[in-house]
Amino acid sequence: MAFEGLASKLQEAMKKLKGKGKLTEKDIKMAMREVKLALLEADVNFKVVKNFVKTVGEKCTGSEVMESLTPGQQVVKIVNDELSSLMGDESKEINLKANGISVIMLVGLQGAGKTTMGGKLATHLRKNNKRPLLVACDIYRPAAIKQLQVVGKSIDVPVFSMGDKVNPVDIAKAGIEHAKANDNNVVIIDTAGRLHIDEELMQELKDVKECVEPDEILLVVDSMTGQDAVNVATTFDELLNIDGVVLTKLDGDTRGGAALSIKAMTGKPIKFAGIGEKLNDLEVFHPDRMASRILGMGDVLSLIEKAQSAIDEKEAEELSNRMMNEEFNFEDYLSAMKQMKKLGPLGKIMEMVPGANKSMMGDLDMEASEKEMNRVEAMINSMTVAERRNPSLIKNSSSRKKRIARGSGVNVAAINKLLKGYEQSKKMMKQFKGMSKGVGKKASKGLFG
């Protein structure tokens, strides 16, 4: 999970305060020391940590907290608010023109995830009814152009390139002309990265900037590089005056130092976070929601948004109706699993559920649960349509069971287990239906009787 290390330490520090009826200054001091250590260990810039602890400490020793009935909760709220403010409080949109062609320039070091980000951003923009064009201006890294073309093809977004012999400034200019001629209204320029910042690279980026006058310069940094990412952001900002930062690989960042330092150190907001290698693994960065996640308070809003964009409402409703009417069969099982998968890996979903932090979940093994889901899917896929619709056909036929087991690479015991699970779910639905009827009756009696 992103920020796992930091989250568990901060939550530990907060837990000690939450249970107390009264807090002394010593309690606060001790807690602040733990918060400070947790942030430093997370590789947050030491100046940022110093300021953070000072502000939080002062607010916590104020009379509203000390005299309140729930001082521990107040402290948690203050830490939450300050974490959110450290990251910029509200999410910031990218600058796009209301009419005409908007130009976004992606800059950053090699390997930060720029090209991937081009694809993610194009996917995101298209969801918002834009018509993006990707422009390949990285003429140095071998295969960079090809990579962008592959990305573009996989999401069906056009890619403009002129090979690696033309100057990036000319490619960018021609790319915008191409967009005009082809009715694209957002141009995403993938620029060249280097292993380290060098003057030649910066000059080239300045030249492209001057020529195309981008609406948005987004710096892509790898969050796993911690303080290096912050240094890169500071330098790029000084030279190019960036508009915002994209933090990639947040899915593998257990510490969080870059996320918590960048806004404070550069004044520039983090606008997006990359949370995986796939092209829809992109999140709009919401500082307030991120703060809640770090403190184990979940992020219900993001979860709902994710569900809304991934789940087909009509399909979900039909499914739930079928389940309530006990008509459901293995085809419904499959479609339920498909809907779940659209939400993303289980581990990522659990991060957003309030209270479901690592310590609460104990050893719940997400990977194993996902593997089990795949196994069930394979078993159902090995059934005939008639069997899926009418599971009782399988129940009393050992030859059918054997055939399905062979087809899905499991043993007959696994098929029996699946059938048993199905029967149990059906029974549960029956009870649930009975219960909800009972509740309905009681409620109406209460109201009218």
One of 59, 92, 249, 286 touching ligand GDP (CB under 6 A): 249
161 binds ligand GDP (CB under 6 A): no
Using CA atoms, how far apart are residues 327 and 344, in angstroms rounded to an integer? 27
At 249, list the tokens: 């690989």
CB of 348 to ligand GDP, least distance (A): 11
> Which residues are 190's β-sheet partners?
106, 136
Using CA atoms, how far apart are residues 199 and 204, in angstroms rounded to an integer? 9
User: What angle, 0 to 180 degrees and rounded to 10, lies between the N-to-C axes of helices 330-342 and 313-324?
Assistant: 140
276 binds ligand GDP (CB under 6 A): yes
Query: What does the DSSP assignment read for 91-130?
Result: --PPP--SSS-EEEEEE--TTSSHHHHHHHHHHHHHHTT-
CB of 135 to ligand GDP, least distance (A): 14
Tell me whether residue 252 or residue 355 sits nearer to ligand GDP (CB atom). 252
Q: What residue is closest to ligand GDP based on CB?
A: 274
Tell me whether residue 51 or residue 110 sits nearer to ligand GDP (CB atom). 110
One of 12, 58, 93, 277 touching ligand GDP (CB under 6 A): 277
Three-state secondary structure readout of 137-192: CCCCCCCHHHHHHHHHHHHCCCEECECECCCHHHHHHHHHHHHHHHCCCEEEEECC
Amino acid identity for residue 253 in this structure: D
248 binds ligand GDP (CB under 6 A): yes
Contacts of 257 (CB under 8 A, 6+ apart): 42, 43, 44, 45, 226, 227, 230
**According to CB under 6 A, which residues from 109 to 148 bind ligand GDP?**
110-116
At 283, list the tokens: 């999140």
251 binds ligand GDP (CB under 6 A): yes
Tell me whether residue 111 or residue 345 sits nearer to ligand GDP (CB atom). 111
Tell me whether residue 161 or residue 408 sits nearer to ligand GDP (CB atom). 161
Per-residue contact string for residues 303-322; x = within reach of ligand GDP by CB under 6 A: --------------------
193 binds ligand GDP (CB under 6 A): yes
One of 252, 355, 434, 440 touching ligand GDP (CB under 6 A): 252
**According to CB under 6 A, which residues from 50 to 109 bind ligand GDP?**
108
**What DSSP character marks residue 61?**
T
Q: Binding site membership for GTP: which residues?
A: 108-115, 190-194, 248-251
Task: Give residues in contact with ligand GDP (CB under 6 A).
Answer: 108, 110-116, 193, 248-249, 251-252, 274-277, 281
